[in-house]
Structure 1
Amino acid sequence: MPSTPLPSPSLPGPPPTRLTIVTDAWHPQVNGVVRSIETTNRELKKMGVEVSMITPEPFRSAPMPTYPEIRLSLVTPARIGRMIEAQQPDYVHIATEGPLGLMARRWCLRNKRAFSTTYHTRFPEYVAARLPLPLSWLYAYVRWFHNRGGACMVATESLRRELTAHGIKNLSLWSRGIDTTLFRLRDKAEKPFGLARPIFMTVGRVAVEKNLPAFLDLDLPGSKVVVGDGPARAELQARYPDVHFTGMLHGEALAEAYTQADVFVFPSKTDTFGNTILEALASGVPVAAYPVTGPIDIIPAGSNAGALDQDLQVACIAALQASPDSARRLAETYSWQAATEQFFDNVVEAKEQRRKRGLRGRFGTRPADLTG
């Protein structure tokens, strides 16, 4: 009798792509950086990428001066290096310029490991608002930090132009997306929060860099609402007793709050994008803002999804006439899947740039300095 053939052993597939992300911004912080990284991680998993995180959670920390809600990790390059090595990543991405990012950068340079970075926040302006340091010194630090990576990701074209003028190189675009299922058109209450309409609302961290008095000082019809929390809340709540402060909201409660606004006001001049702008637009709420990086990139002229003006009061009144349907349609053009593919392409390109630098060094061209 012919023998029965043994089943062929199943061949293992290719190993998964591994990415380590190092970030100083993580829970319990609630901000655009944390939300962007979280959502990107979920999309990367769908793409088959294994993501390992190095966050402040396992480290001792100290409160940040003037902003104790943010804690600074106490860590050494050696410990960060051991964590990266244990994760065996194909790629390393450094999301922030804080202690963890700084130590990861140092370890990568010493060990000739490629890495990418992100310019999530206006670090120089953010620090200068709290400490008496010249912006020129702070931009020198930003150049030193980011120019050694293979790619520094920025959210908008206008920010790329601005940072290029400051001498930052290897800039790549990484846009953002929006959950259009959570943030959607909903029924509006006659008197939301017990307040008279129109409702002018802002959402975000209640802190000095958000420029909230520029909104709260305006003489507007109806009512003003601030959603969020932060170190400036107590002082602003006492200073503006007629403004309704909701505190921090999450999930469905946040999405419902957005929908009750008639105009979303974005007074910040220092954000690099403005995730809350997309959340408002997806909720069918027109946006009023200054014509600065972020708003000018998201809200094109003639879109009827909001109004931009150097006079924020003019923008607020004009936004009352904008179209909720136009706002929603604009938000629907922002996909987290497309943004995450863009992010990962940049990560891969950063490693390729590191390889090209090494080849240039072998053939006699001065290689990139790797001493860190």
Structure 2
Amino acid sequence: MKILLVSDAWFPQVNGVVRTLNTVIGELREMGHEVETITPDQFKTVPCPTYPEIRLACWPFFRVPAMIEAARPDAIHIATEGPLGMTARRYCVRNKLPFTTAYHTRFPEYVQPRLGVPVAWTYKVMRHFHGKSAGVMVATKSIRADLEARGFDNIKDWSRGVDTELFRPQAKDAIDAKRPVFMFVGRVAVEKNLPAFLELDLPGSKVVVGDGPDMDMLKKKFPETIFVGAKKGEELARHYAAADVFVFPSRTDTFGLVMLEALASGVPVAAFPVPGPLDVIASDKVGVLSEDLRDAALKALELKPEDCRAYALGFSWRACAEQFFGNLAPFDSDAAFGRFDTRGSRAA
């Protein structure tokens, strides 16, 4: 099958959405499917307001329809609600093409602290965006329940996986700091609720791995914290493994892939008992969830690395890709694009 994936989140961004999409694309290709993408790197871009690390495609309205027609896909998946996603959705609706979407990010809860837009207003926009989708893919039962309570009625389950070959227990020499080491990995941005972690009175050291718009502010406010910047590949894996506890203070993530990566590295998790952590941390042998994040972090020190690793081994990217494929809404591409020639131009 030829699958077209449209996403406003793409490299050089480094986050859970991009890693998930890139890994699933690789799995789908290994399964024998052809995958094409429409992503910001194919356009001129501008920085996203309040978050310059995210690049938004300029004037996609003229190019995206032609790109879809040239691709002649058998299924279309729209991963994000940005300019590319909105343009692709509009094209599909106008041309009566089925498509699927995904709810990767609790966008309303991200917009509210940045711009002050009421959550209810943004959810209305989200319901409109996803309402015509043949299926909105979500990562957890908690997010499914939350969206259904908000009026979404076309939800499909789509779990996640973890690269257990890359993320694995290894020497803790990537961090030269007083033990124990409490670590966060992810975007250094307001939605990650980092002060809830960095304000804790904990023994040893706190380490933040990642970059983002709040970096300079947090460095000044928490000078005792070790900020090492963004890491990739083997270097990132070594940093995960160097932690004694992974602290995940976010209250808005729909999943939290970083928690699985920490567990695969043999590192227990401390988090709030909210959607995301409640779904990922399904065993008290691998993490502690509490509204008292300090207590959770200290108790997590007592958990066994081998239990964390064994738990993470139960998550497979191939199963994730197969579930994604099963959720797609295929259509007859010849009938849908028969009015166009192979260059995507309108036939005479």
Partner residue of 2:182 out of 191, 195, 200: 200
Q: Tell me, what secondary structure is at the counterpart of 1:130?
A: helix
Cα deviations across residues 284-341 of structure 1 (Å, max 9, x unaligned)?
0000000111111111143x11100011111101101111111101100000000100
CA offset at residue 194 of structure 1?
2.5
Name which of 103, 106, 130 aligns with 1:146.
130
Amino acid paired to 1:312: L
Confirm or deny that 1:56 pairs with 2:40.
Answer: yes
Q: Which moved more, 1:82-91 or 1:61-70?
A: 61-70
Q: How does 1:85-234 map to 2 (within 5 A)?
A: 85-189=69-173, 193-234=175-216
C-alpha distance in 2 between matches for 1:318 and 1:163: 32
1:250-286 alpha-carbon deviations (Å, 9 max, x no partner): 1111100111100000000000000100100000000
What amino acid is the match of 2:325?
A: F
Q: Distance in 1 between matches of 2:186 and 2:7?
A: 20
* 1:138 match: secondary structure: helix
Are residues 1:337 and 2:318 paired? yes
Residue in 2 that maps onto 1:308: 289
1:368 matched residue in structure 2: none
- Kindly indicate whether residue 256 of structure 2 is the aligned counterpart of residue 274 of structure 1: yes
Residues 172 and 238 of structure 2 are in contact (CA less than 8 Å); yes or no, is this contact kept in structure 1? no
Q: Is the 8 A contact 2:186 2:210 kept in 1?
A: yes
Structure 1 residues 333-366: Cα deviation after superposition (integer angstroms, max 9, x where no partner): 0000001000010014x769xxxxxxxxxxxxxx
Distance in 2 between residues matched to 1:344 and 1:296, nearest whole Å: 26
The alpha-carbon deviation at position 188 of structure 1 amounts to: 2.7
> In 1, distance between residues paired with 2:9 and 2:205?
33
Q: Hey, what does 1:235 align to over in structure 2?
A: 217
The normalised TM-score by structure 1 is: 0.87
Q: Distance in 2 between matches of 1:169 and 1:69?
A: 33
- Is contact 2:167–2:265 with CA below 8 Å preserved after alignment? yes
The CA deviation at 1:163 is 0.5
Contact kept in structure 2, 1:178 and 1:335, CA below 8 Å: yes
Among 284, 289, 297, the alignment partner of 2:271 is 289
1:319 aligns with 2:300: yes
1:328 to 2:312 alignment = no
CA distance in 1, matches of 2:198, 2:254: 22
Contact (CA 8 Å) 2:263, 2:286: kept in 1 or not? Answer: yes
Matches of 2:175 and 2:317, distance apart in 1: 31
Q: Partners in 2 of 1:228 and 1:76 — Cα distance?
A: 30
Q: Does 1:34 align with 2:18?
A: yes
Q: What amino acid is the match of 2:315? A: Y
Deviation at 1:76, TM superposition (A): 4.1
Q: Give yes or no for contact 1:80–1:104 (8 Å, CA) kept in 2.
A: yes
SS of residue paired to 2:63: helix
SS for the counterpart of 2:105 is coil
Does the aligned pair in 2 maintain the 1:150–1:351 contact within 8 Å? no
What is the rounded CA distance, in whole Å, between the counterparts of 1:185 and 1:62 in structure 2? 39
Opposite residue 293 of structure 1, the aligned amino acid is: P
Q: TM-score, normalised by structure 2?
A: 0.93
Where 2:4 maps in the other structure, the secondary structure is: strand
- Conserved? CA contact 1:115–1:351, under 8 Å: no
Preserved contact between residue 4 and residue 35 of structure 2 (Cα < 8 Å): yes
Bigger relative contact order, structure 1 or 2 (CA pairs below 8 A, ≥6 apart): 2
- Please give the alpha-carbon distance, in whole angstroms, between the structure 1 residues aligned to 2:60 and 2:232: 34
How far the C-alpha of 1:127 sits from its partner, in A, is 1.4
Q: Secondary structure at the match of 2:40?
A: coil
Distance 1:321-1:137 versus aligned 2 partners, 3 A rule? same
Q: Which has the larger radius of gyration?
A: 1
Gaps of 5+ in 1: 1-16, 353-372
Where structure 2 has 5 or more consecutive residues not aligned to the other structure, the ranges are 333-348
CA distance in 1, matches of 2:43, 2:172: 45
Preserved contact between residue 18 and residue 50 of structure 1 (Cα < 8 Å)? yes
Any conservation in 2 of the 1:186–1:256 contact (CA below 8 Å)? yes
Give the distance between the partners of 1:332 and 1:147, measured in 2 at CA.
35
CA change 1:351–1:318 in 2 (3 A) is farther
